[in-house]
Amino acid sequence: MCPASPFGYFCQGGQTSMLPPGRCGILLAMAVLVANGCSSSKPAPPAKAAAKPELTNVYQVGPVVDLLAMVDPQRDAVTGEFRWQEESLIVPAVRAAQLNLDVDLPEQYELRMEVARVRGNESLNLGITVGAHQAVVVIEGWGKRISGLNLVDGRLGEDNETSSTFPVFTDNAVKSIRVIVRRESVLVDVGGNVFIDYRGAPSRLNFDERFFRRPRLNQLMLGSWQTEFRVTRWTLTPFGDQPVDYTKTPDAVVATTANMETKSEEPPASLATDLENSAEPPVAAEPFAEASSEPTAEMSPAAANEPRAEDDEKPNQVAWQAVPDPYPQWDGSAVTKLSVSQPADWVVVPFGPSPFFMTGTPTGESIRWQVHDIRSGNPIGKACELPASDHHFPRLCPSGRYMLTYVGISAQRRVAVQSFVSGETVYEAASPDVRISDAPRDLLALNHSLVSVRGGRDDVEFQRVDLRTGKVELTWNVDQSPGELAAITVSPGGRYLLVNGRRQLNVYELATGQRVGQVDVPEQLAVADALAFSRDGAELALLGRESGRPSPILWCIDWSGGETVLQEDMQAEIHGMENNYLFGPALEWFPNNELLLYYGRDVIDRQSGKFCVQIPGNQFWEHPRRTLGSRSILGMMPGEDPNQRVYRSVSLSSLSLDTALHVLRRGGSAADVGLPPLSVPNSGEGKRLAWEPSDGPLRVQLAERPALPELKLPMLLASFKESNTELRRIEFADPPAATAVMHFTFNRRDDHKRRDMLVRFDLQRRKPTGSIPIHKDFHLVGVSPDGTRAMIGRFNEVDAYGRLDVVDLVSKQHVAGWLPFADEVYAADVSASGQPQAKNPMTANWVRFVGNDRVVAVNPAGKLVCWQLPECEVLLGCDDFGQPLGLSADRRYLAGEHASRLVLLDLQSGSWAGEVRPAEPPLAILRAGFASDNGQLAAVLGYQGRHQLVVWNLTNGTPLDQFDMPFSTGRPGRSEQQNDLHRQWGLDFRRSGYLTLDDLYLIDRAGESIAWQYSLRRGKHAVNGPDDREWFTEYRTADHGRGQAFEYWLTATELPSQQVVGMIGSAPASDSQRPVGRSVLSTTDEEARLIPPAP
């Protein structure tokens, strides 16, 4: 015994040494560690830290469990492709890689790992349970090599009492890591050096669910963040307060054989036993065996009605008392291949997790119904033959024991239940015509139960019938009208009835009728399409949508506490099936809880909450598909005979599905799956820049814009024989390149499909020099300075891009594709003001080339990133740049608004070039633009009820012009119509003394007014004009003797023209507060005229 150790760890007798051999104990006092030359990342706890409980003696109370031997990557992986490499487990380098392992966790335990970092510079993440609370041990994360326990008191591990910068993965060598969990403490050490030390109540801990999915309490999590690790050892040792004489030696390492055994495709004989000669199968011996319907201690009415502390806090809200209710004696396993031998015209799948399905085959005027077990692939039980004309809407009990049909129609309709054990009808009763939307009126559940909806116009009554006796065992009322019931279902184990009442989701215990849970349904789920329990009963998924909105929302709640764990807009227009899904569930989980299947057609990723892939076919709504394995389904497929269809297993393409999941979980959408592969931006590297207020001089270098080679205008850009082509955007490269890139859209008349194409045009040679097709969801965003590359983006929001791609127009190759801000967090329903965020920070709303191989983007939150192509390596990052306003002609300086300051950023050096200050601080800066030589900067400033134009000299920062601008003809906003692909929003310097605002208004600096207004009727404004003229295209029709042609022409004009200058100069002084007139920009004679001023 070592009394000198204040932590009380021992190495004597039956007690276990917590340090390598030769050390006295796991943790010595910090003073002892320093004295012995050991290092620690944290200072010694202060002397007053008596509130932290002392660590007391513990004893090993069981054999060491080899967790690594229990891992099955295909079964346990949640995110990422975990794999075996010889005797090591490889943790993949993907965003939020996660594996959850089922373990019988003791209250106190120790985890030992031997792990090496293979590649990447981010974290190893270990999910643990302390008491009934979960947290994650993050080792060298947050891009800063910070370790810590995540979360403590709601604070991240990078900024709480456990934060540590102690170096762990200093090289690629194997490191020995231990996580010691006690009742009120967590300690983590590497090589005997403690670098995470938490001592406090477990209730202070929580699981951060922004990126990782919360494991169950009996699961350990192994994960990483964009870093690959190799794990060669992972063990668990249980500890207790008293010594225990267990049969294994303390050093024995054992594995749970039940989890290590490889499941055979051949089922046990008992599963295939025909129940024809057995009226009642032995309990727990056959697949029909069910849990007893007698209430257990957990189901007692007294416990359900016992008051709780939460009831005092929310008197109108029922405290959540429900617990996970899994399907008994089934872990979700099934045969890998299954096919129904006889042809079946009908297939019925239970509403909820079940290892059974039912087929119906016509036999004359009857239908022969047969149950099949997916664990064996064989039919079981006695078949039931029912008259085809009398029995409608068949349903199968999850236990496979009973089927329900409706006999007759309307007021004479009756509900009938048949048994596949006896092959006879065991229950029949009238079925009242209760109007409850699309929810089923009768549900078959485990425990031999039939749950039916009764009631009148204004109230709802539920009743539970015991099918063994045919008696109504329980009746209870709910405080909802029939029209409010959107959906009802029963938990997998048959313990709870779930009632979705549009505004509230209520949970009732079937044994007592007592309400044991209540959750408010989000307003966005006004229309509920489907709901489903996971097979372990731990989570409920509900799919719904706002009225009139095609994109549904996936809402998932943790059944342990009724808490929301996911609420995500799927960002895809997927719809349910007509006639409902009468013969099976509309929503079903895959066995590993990673995916969901919606109407047998749409696969949904649970982690991201987004639509993943669509399975083709399934035109026959009476043939429901169902999930079989983690990557397979059951569905009706063509048989050997072309006229015959067979219900059989179908394997989904793991390659395409994994690719889709990889894209979704990095912030992409299903549309990215068929596109070129995404690059991974190296967001952890590059120069980091923070705003530094500066009172010093501006650091801006003058640079004359290169001259554009002489061109003959107007110039024919393209000619088409049909009018189904549209020029969506034209943008110039830098002047020396004499190149423009055009984005054309072709609407094909034969198949009504749209094709999009980029065309590179040589302005000197007056002809196109290459083209490349692009996806129809993408738009031309930018052109490189030399004109050889184009950047395209896909709109995720009204005016923001979720994905960017760069293509080479000369080699016609894809250069790079990335999700610019995929690592940002979009809390659509959580913001500082309590209102949804207006913009998605995972998108880019301003993007430009600043070099042939460099791209800069800014997101709506004001974060700026500059990438190097093609690696997408981050060169520069600024978390709080602000809103971009204008880029200089040489693409070096970026002007932006930072906290109502007009700041300048030098993108070439990655440093601030200073800020310009108006005499009066504005409320907002709305527009800005550079002169072509960087010598001047103009901006429109917003004040209360007025706008002001200021022009500064950038050589000394002094204002040259400053005056108010009355906007009687229009007001510039911060981002009006930023998605307009044809207009260059901002300020442009024109001939001496004039500017144009948004290609619309001519500003006379000498007259201090908006002097003229322009319009373009049949053309498009060109972006990034190569000189101070206004460049635009015109659309014309012509006939050159070979039939009608539809043409696009390019031209340029000086603004203002001499004629307009003369009219401005001769205008009466009283008219100086509004435009003198407006011009139509055109090269055709009939439109080259001036329009008189409006009265």
pLDDT at residue 398 in the model: 93
Q: What value does the mean pLDDT of the chain take? A: 77
Q: Tell me the backbone φ, ψ of residue 608, rounded to 5 degrees.
A: -90, -20
pLDDT of residue 1074: 56
What does the longest C-alpha to C-alpha distance in the chain come to? Answer: 109
What are the angstrom distances between the C-alpha of 744 and each of 361, 665, 741?
55, 32, 10
pLDDT digits (tens, 9 = 90+) for 360-389: 888 888 999 999 999 888 899 999 999 888
Helical H segments across 644-736, by residue range: 654-664
Give Cα separations from 270 to 45, 273, 372, 378 (angstroms): 61, 5, 14, 11
Rounded to whole angstroms, the Cα distance separating 355 from 1069 reads 87
**Cα 213 → chain centroid:** 12
SS3 assignment, position 478 = strand
Mean pLDDT split into 10-residue runs, the chain, 1095 residues:
28 31 28 30 34 52 88 90 91 92 90 93 94 93 89 90 90 91 92 88 90 88 93 91 52 30 30 30 30 33 36 58 89 81 77 89 89 90 88 89 84 85 90 54 88 74 91 85 75 90 84 90 73 91 74 88 87 56 78 88 88 69 74 77 73 74 73 74 75 82 89 92 88 96 85 84 94 90 96 77 92 91 61 48 90 95 93 90 93 92 93 90 91 92 89 92 69 40 72 88 88 82 91 87 86 89 74 60 42 36
Distance CA 789, CA 811 (A): 10
Q: How confident is the model at residue 522, as a pLDDT?
A: 83
* CB-based burial label for 36 (10 Å; 0-12, 13-18, 19+): exposed
* Burial class for 368, CB neighbours closer than 10 Å (0-12, 13-18, 19+): middle
Digit-coded pLDDT (tens) for 998-1013: 888 889 998 888 888 8
The answer to whether 595 and 605 are in contact (CB under 8 A) is: yes
φ, ψ at 233 (rounded to 5°): -150, 140
Q: Do 692 and 912 form a contact (C-beta atoms < 8 A)?
A: yes
- What is the reported pLDDT for 853? 96
The rounded distance, in Å, linking the Cα atoms of 766 and 762 is 6
Radius of gyration (C-alpha) of the chain in whole angstroms: 35
Count of Cβ atoms closer than 10 Å to residue 104 Cβ: 10
Q: Are 625 and 618 in contact (CB under 8 A)?
A: yes
Token pair for residue 463? 């009743």
Domains plus CATH for the chain? Answer: 49-258 (2.60.120.560), 311-672 (2.130.10.10), 687-710+726-1025+1070-1091 (2.130.10)
Give the count of beta carbons closer than 10 Å to the beta carbon of residue 18.
23
| pLDDT digit string, tens, across residues 817-862 | 988 887 776 554 433 333 444 567 888 989 999 999 999 999 988 9
Predicted pLDDT of residue 454: 77
Strand order in the sheet with 563-569: 527-533, 539-545, 553-558, 563-569
Please tell me the predicted confidence (pLDDT) of residue 46.
34
- Note the pTM of the prediction, 2 decimals: 0.57
Q: Where are the alpha helices (DSSP H) in 36-168?
A: 67-70, 73-76
Distance (Å, rounded) from C-alpha 871 to C-alpha 880? Answer: 24
Asked whether the beta carbons of 382 and 421 are under 8 A apart, the reply is yes
Q: In whole angstroms, give the CA distance from residue 420 to residue 1019.
A: 73
CA distance 557 to 565: 5
- What pLDDT is stored for residue 715 in this prediction? 94
Q: Which tokens is 262 given?
A: 């490889």
Owner of token pair 């070039």 = 913
Spatial separation of the C-alpha atoms in residues 538 and 324, rounded to whole Å = 5
Whether 177 and 139 have beta carbons less than 8 Å apart is answered as: yes
Q: What distance in Å separates the CA atoms of residue 634 and residue 652, rounded to the nearest whole number?
A: 11
By CB neighbour count within 10 A (0-12 exposed, 13-18 middle, 19+ buried), where does 1055 fall? buried
Tell me the backbone φ, ψ of residue 32, rounded to 5 degrees.
-65, -40
For 1029, counting Cβ atoms within 10 Å of its Cβ (0-12 exposed, 13-18 middle, 19+ buried), the class is middle
d(CA 380, CA 373): 7
Give the rounded distance of the alpha carbon of 361 from its chain centre.
43
- For the record, the structure tokens of 747 come out as 């609407």
CA distance 581 to 854: 52
Cα end-to-end distance, the chain, whole Å: 101
- Please give the angle made by the CA atoms of 787, 789 and 794, to the nearest 5 degrees: 125
Q: Please report which residue ranges of 306-341 form alpha helices under DSSP H.
A: 309-313
Type of residue at 286: E
- pLDDT score, position 839: 66
Q: What is the pLDDT of residue 643?
A: 63
Which burial class, exposed, middle or buried, applies to 283 when counting CB atoms under 10 A from its CB (0-12, 13-18, 19+)? exposed
Q: What is the distance between the alpha carbons of residues 782 and 111, in angstroms, rounded to a whole number?
A: 52
